């Protein structure tokens, strides 16, 4: 069970297509690749648009049976990985190139894995105007393929879109945010390269009955005016179990923020509804390289899940590439924030001159309003390839989610190198973790234990003498902490906690540790799930 990162994973080409047959058929079949009707297709004139109007339409749609989207056909349906990768949007065709407009819009070509076209609309004032894209908007690097395609044929929709803005330099329009595939999207802060993704909604993720993937079926973009620093995107979400109306207010910056309003209408009972889901990749790091014989010391888009509670506690849960499907739950009452973070920004930590994992963004979710009681669920999926997204995290409300329910959630997403909430300032942070065979290093022993070494730095620890009387606060669920030793690291403003842990074979052990002293908490709480496989 692996969630694919569609922008990287290679697909198998259809074997029944010979190349010349494919190219010959392309021109003849393109005209038959008709667009599915969008939500206002039945109107004689384009109506005015508002988020409330979209909400009412999605509420009404939830009262009707789900209608699966009509996929593209003709040559669009038969594009393989290689052909699709040679199709590019022409930058000179970008929408919104008027002077003073801060954003540019590019589209993604339909086909390959993206066989369900998405309708794109522009909202000017309150009026809706469909945005048409044609083959003239795209560059076909394969000459034979390019010659076989009508020169200005209208697309039945697109696979998604991306927005560009002057993120790193005032004179360059950098990629800012991408929406492509189901309800997936990902954004960048200043200095970032693409890493983890977000989704509009998660339905029954990691459950035995199988996951459902709602999709954004139609999108409305509010045309930005010169000088505006925020762009607004509206989206219709649809699936067999739920419909939804979404609003995204996107503001680029050193930390890019996306304010999200999600209004959901349930067609069916849903066993597990995942709010603000995040998807990332973790293969290995210095804590435990596992079976990977790799020159790189770490390969991951995110290294930890962070949860900040209303009580001022911060939980830092190191990620893992487990031997089997694993899951952890972190209960909270309307948390201040949670997310997946990439704290280590040193090239030497990764040594990857192409992927540059040190540039991958952290993403923190800040609930707006009272989310009530619930839990953050972390799902970790075994993976042997770095092109697979194998980490999922989302909020599960502590309430039944039944057919006919109407729910609304608002939250702010922080994408960047060090977004708000990714690391507490007043508490010491976990700087590294290592694991290994228990016992005394360099001595052959058979203690039956596993050693965990956690280093803390920052906060008040930077100002305490080495003889300070501090206490390690530790716990182990389904295992035993045989020994816990806390001591300063000579010559560094760091304190090291060493745990020796024992557990039964195949036990799933939840570990927790932190530092306290002077009648106060001095560090964030380190957490880890150890499977004694």
Q: Flag whether 216 is in a domain.
A: yes
Query: Do 403 and 444 sit in the same domain of this protein?
Result: no
Give me the mean pLDDT over the 70-78 stretch. Answer: 87
Last residue of a domain, one of 416, 448, 472: 416
pLDDT at residue 8, rounded to an integer: 36
Tell me the pLDDT band of 3, cut-offs 50, 70 and 90.
Answer: very low
For the cut 60, the answer to whether the pLDDT of residue 84 exceeds it is yes
What average pLDDT score do residues 195-217 get? 96
User: Residue 57: pLDDT above 80?
Assistant: yes
421 in any annotated domain: no
Q: What is the pLDDT of residue 149?
A: 84
Confidence of residue 211 (pLDDT cuts 50, 70, 90): very high
Of 351-365, 389-403, 446-460, the poorest mean pLDDT is in 446-460
472 and 396 part of one domain:
no
Instruction: Write down the pLDDT at residue 39.
Output: 55
402 and 482 together in one domain: no
Question: Which residue range(s) make up the domain with 252?
Answer: 3-416
Q: Rounded CA gap, 131 and 126, in Å?
A: 15
Write out the two tokens for 254.
Answer: 């050193």
Number of domains in the chain: 2
Q: Is 422 a member of any domain?
A: no
For residue 9, pLDDT beyond 70: no
Q: CATH no. for residue 386?
A: 2.70.98.10
Cα 283 from Cα 300, distance rounded (Å): 6
Give a yes or no: residue 325 inside a domain.
yes
Asked if pLDDT for residue 487 goes beyond 60, the answer is yes
Residue 423 lies in a domain: no
Same domain, residue pair 397 and 433: no
- Same domain, residue pair 252 and 201: yes
Question: Is 504 domain-assigned?
Answer: yes
Pairing of the two strands 314-318 and 525-531: parallel
- Tell me the pLDDT band of 14, cut-offs 50, 70 and 90: very low
State yes or no: pLDDT of 465 exceeds 80: yes
> Hey, which bits of 381-437 come out as E strands?
388-389, 391-397, 406-416, 429-437
Closest listed residue to residue 112, CA positions, set 87, 76, 70: 76
For 408-437, the pLDDT digits (tens) are 999 999 999 999 999 998 999 999 999 999
254 and 371 in a single domain? The answer is yes
Q: Report the pLDDT averaged over residues 284-301.
A: 90
Average pLDDT, the chain: 90
Choose the final residue of a domain: 382, 416, 450. Answer: 416
Of 416, 444, 472, at which residue does a domain stop? 416
pLDDT level of residue 44 (50, 70, 90 thresholds): low
Q: Are residues 279 and 362 in the same domain?
A: yes
Q: What is the pLDDT of residue 73?
A: 86
Cα separation, 40 vs 130, in Å, equals 10
CA distance 211 to 205: 5
Confidence (pLDDT) at 151: 84
Region 60-74: mean pLDDT is 94
Residue 503 in any domain: the answer is yes
- For 496-509, the pLDDT digits (tens) are 999 999 999 999 99
- The verdict on residue 131 lying in a domain is yes
Question: 405 and 435 share a domain?
Answer: no
pLDDT for the residue numbered 156: 92
Tell me the pTM: 0.90
Residues forming a β-bridge with 456: 430, 495
In this structure, the answer to whether residues 435 and 378 fall within a common structural domain is no
Whether residue 219 sits in one domain with residue 294: yes
Q: Are residues 337 and 441 part of one domain?
A: no
pLDDT over 90 percentage in the chain: 80
Q: What is the pLDDT of residue 120?
A: 97
Distance CA 454, CA 525 (A): 11
Closest CA to 112 of 178, 159, 148: 159
Q: Residues 399, 464: one domain?
A: no
Instruction: Return the CATH number at 437.
Output: 2.60.40.10
The count of other CB atoms within 10 Å of the CB of residue 411 is 21
Per-residue pLDDT at 26:
45
pLDDT digits 0-9 by tens, 508-527: 999 999 999 999 999 999 99
pLDDT at 141 over 80: yes
């Amino acid at each position: 069970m692996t969630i694919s990162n569609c922008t990287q994973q290679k697909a198998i080409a259809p074997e029944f297509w010979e190349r010349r047959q494919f190219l010959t058929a392309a021109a003849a079949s393109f005209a038959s690749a008709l667009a599915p009707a969008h939500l206002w297709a039945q109107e004689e004139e384009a109506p005015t648009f508002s988020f409330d109007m979209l909400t009412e339409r999605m509420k009404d749609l939830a009262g009707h049976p789900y209608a699966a989207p009509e996929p593209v056909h003709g040559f669009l349906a038969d594009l393989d990985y290689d052909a699709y990768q040679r199709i590019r949007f022409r930058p000179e065709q970008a929408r919104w190139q008027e002077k003073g407009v801060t954003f540019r819009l590019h589209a993604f070509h339909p086909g390959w894995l993206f066989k369900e076209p998405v309708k794109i609309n522009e909202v000017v004032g309150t009026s809706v105007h469909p945005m048409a894209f044609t083959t003239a908007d795209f560059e076909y690097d394969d000459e034979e393929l390019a010659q076989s395609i009508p020169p200005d044929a209208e697309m039945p929709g697109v696979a998604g879109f991306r927005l560009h803005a002057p993120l790193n330099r005032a004179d360059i329009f950098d990629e800012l945010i991408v929406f492509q595939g189901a309800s997936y999207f990902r954004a960048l802060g200043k200095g970032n390269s693409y890493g983890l993704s977000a989704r509009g909604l998660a339905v029954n993720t990691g459950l035995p009955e199988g996951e459902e993937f709602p999709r954004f079926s139609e999108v409305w973009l509010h045309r930005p005016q010169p000088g505006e620093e925020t762009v607004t995107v509206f989206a219709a979400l649809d699936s067999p179990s739920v419909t939804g109306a979404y609003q995204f207010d996107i503001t680029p910056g050193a930390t890019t923020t996306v304010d999200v309003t999600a209004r959901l209408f349930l067609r069916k009972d849903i066993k597990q509804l995942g709010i603000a889901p995040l998807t990332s990749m973790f293969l290995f790091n210095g804590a435990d390289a596992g079976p990977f014989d790799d020159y790189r010391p770490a390969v991951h888009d995110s290294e930890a899940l962070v949860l900040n509670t209303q009580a001022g506690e911060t939980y830092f849960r190191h990620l893992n590439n487990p031997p089997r499907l694993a899951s952890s739950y972190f209960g909270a009452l309307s948390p201040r924030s949670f997310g997946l973070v990439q704290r280590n920004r040193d090239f030497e930590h990764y040594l990857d001159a192409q992927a540059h994992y040190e540039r991958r963004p952290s993403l923190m979710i800040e609930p707006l309003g009272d989310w009530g009681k619930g839990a953050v669920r972390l799902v970790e999926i075994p993976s042997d390839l770095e092109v697979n997204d194998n980490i999922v995290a989302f909020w599960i409300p502590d309430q039944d989610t039944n057919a006919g329910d109407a729910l609304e959630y608002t939250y702010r997403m922080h994408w960047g190198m060090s977004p708000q909430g990714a690391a507490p300032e007043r508490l010491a942070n976990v700087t590294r973790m290592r694991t290994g065979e228990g016992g005394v290093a360099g001595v052959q022993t058979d203690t039956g234990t596993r050693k965990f070494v956690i280093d803390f730095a920052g906060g008040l620890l930077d100002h305490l003498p080495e003889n300070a009387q501090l206490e390690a606060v530790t716990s182990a669920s389904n295992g035993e902490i045989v020994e816990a030793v806390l001591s300063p690291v000579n010559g560094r403003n760091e304190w090291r906690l060493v745990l020796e842990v024992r557990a039964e074979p195949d036990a799933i052990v939840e570990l927790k540790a932190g530092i306290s002293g002077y009648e106060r908490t001095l560090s964030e709480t380190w957490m880890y799930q150890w499977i004694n496989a």
